[in-house]
Amino acid sequence: MRGTFCIVLHSHLPWLAHHGTWPVGEEWLYQAWAHSYLPVVDLLQRFADEGRRDMLTLGVTPVLAAQLDDPYCLRAFHDWLGNWHLRSQFAGTRWRDPVLRDLAAAEFQTSARALETFETQWRHGFSPVLRPLADSGVIELLGGPATHPFQPLLEPQVRDFALRTGLDDTQSRIGHRPAGIWAPECGYAPGMEVGYAAAGVQRFLVDGPSLHGNTAAARTVGDSDVVCFGRDLEVTYRVWSPKAGYPGHADYRDFHTYDHPSGLKPSRVTGKQVPPEEKQPYEPARAALAVQQHAQDFVDTVVRRLDGLPPDSLVVAAYDTELFGHWWHEGPAWLETVLRSLPEAGVRVTTLQGAIEAGHVGSRVDLPASSWGSGKDWRNWDGEQVADLVAMGSSLQHDLLSVVDSFPRGYRSSAADQLVREALLALSSDWAFMVTKDSAADYARRRAKVHAERFGELSELLRLGHLDRATARAGQLRAEDYLFGHLDARGLPSTC
């Protein structure tokens, strides 16, 4: 074997249920569900049926899993799939171009298959679908902190509680506690490995520059036995980079150009500077050829990278799962082709756990403060643009610890539980990232503000001893923000 390759997929969306629909909100969830989660799971199920094991490492954040199991989201997604099916039928009657009519027919068939898959396999949620994949060994499952907070900015007690809540949630859904996590935003602060070890986390992801590009083996962190894997940017960026990558090829389906009457995407990229009205119709045959070319190019890239490293080295490429299908329509087909082609090129394909078992663990390392974001530091989450959100988060955490410390620990309170739930939602890393990147920034600021205000309401009522009023208000808030039903505020460590 030339060496070992691991692909890690990170599945995450913030809590979107009951918080708007379009252009940002539940529509975001249902598009990613239909176009990424369904086809990626279908691919994994086919690998499992073939008896394949250790094909990839799949991270699923607890907040996403909560939505994919939520009865409200399941009903709404079923409606969305039915609407997609009807929209494709409408497009077939409206479009006159033969290429577009063929596209509408293909969309009609794809939406019909998605409906059938959902109704026969997913109607009880994601967990019954995911668990057999983890049990069969076709994937290694990664967990994470509850609402995907940027951990370096959390108070140690809040950080520990968020992580344990997330790991508990995954265990309740899948039947076992994940040994690895995708640290949110690959965020790391020196010493965090101590908390990981205490929570039972054995491995996590960092970005390549955290290891100064020396990503050819996993490394134990500090004085712990916790192992970190570095994302190989030379290989990862071949697919998706800030400036270039396969999804921008002229023949791939254009993500940004809509036919608004039908809501479908009938165009190919055509060219980066081509305005939407001048883009050419999408042609699946041309896209399929590009998939084969880019899959071969990626395999060649991995082989060259391994050949340039010491014998039997490791390459880890990591991406958001939503890239495959949602952002990049052809992504699932590319992924399947790559995973089938790499072994033929003499590359061992496995999971992070499989890489450890194969001996890809090097010497210890002291990691710097880092992330996968701009500059590989924390600027996306604590920069000047989001200074107000950082201050809000810091104040909220101190208030949270103060309120919980003053609350009787002898019995469980639904008001205290909801207080913690709203705090964790306010601390989601997504809000700062969306503001910094100016991606639906208004929505992100509104979401952070809503959850902080709800936290403030409950906090004030509990401080004043108005338990009945706090309990009643918590009941109202649970109608919108009720995830992690097992969450118990008494588990938040005391500051004493």
pLDDT digits (tens, 9 = 90+) for 194-216: 999 999 999 999 999 999 999 99
Can you give the pLDDT at residue 407?
A: 75
What is the spatial distance between Cα 157 and Cα 261, in angstroms, rounded to a whole number?
50
The domains of the chain, with CATH numbers, are: 3-365 (3.20.110.10), 383-491 (1.20.1430.10)
Average pLDDT, the chain: 96
Threshold 0.85, pTM exceeds: yes
With both helix axes pointing from N to C terminus, report the angle between 441-463 and 387-406 in degrees, rounded to the nearest 10: 20
Positions marked active-site: 185, 320
Can you give the pLDDT at residue 28?
A: 96
Can you give the pLDDT at residue 107?
A: 96
pLDDT band at 487 (very low <50, low <70, confident <90, very high): very high
Can you give the pLDDT at residue 419?
A: 97
Per DSSP bridges, beta strands 3-11 and 313-320 are parallel
What is the spatial distance between Cα 61 and Cα 167, in angstroms, rounded to a whole number?
10
Can you give the pLDDT at residue 387?
A: 97
Structure token digits, residue 433: 């990232």
Structure token digits, residue 474: 């918590």
What is the spatial distance between Cα 443 and Cα 22, in angstroms, rounded to a whole number?
11
Of 431, 425, 406, which Cα lies nearest the Cα of 492? 406
Burial class for 405, CB neighbours closer than 10 Å (0-12, 13-18, 19+): middle
Can you give the pLDDT at residue 494?
A: 67
The CA–CA distances, whole Å, from 225 to 187, 201, 216 equal 19, 10, 18
Question: Where on the phi/psi map is residue 20: left (φ > 0), alpha (ψ -120 to 50), or beta?
Answer: left
What is the spatial distance between Cα 346 and Cα 356, in angstroms, rounded to a whole number?
19
- Measure CA 324 to chain center: 12
Cis peptide preceding 23, ω within 30 of 0? yes
What are 63-117's pLDDT values in tens digits? 999 999 999 999 999 999 999 999 999 999 999 999 999 999 999 999 999 999 9
DSSP-assigned beta bridge partners for residue 362 = 219
pLDDT of 496 higher than 60: no
Query: Between 355 and 96, where is the model more confident?
Result: 355
Q: What percent of the chain has pLDDT over 90?
A: 94
pLDDT of 192 higher than 80: yes
pLDDT of 243 higher than 90: no
What is the spatial distance between Cα 82 and Cα 96, in angstroms, rounded to a whole number?
24
Average pLDDT over residues 417-422: 97
Average pLDDT over residues 139-147: 98
Query: Between 496 and 345, where is the model more confident?
Result: 345
pLDDT of 408 higher than 80: no
pLDDT of 33 higher than 90: yes
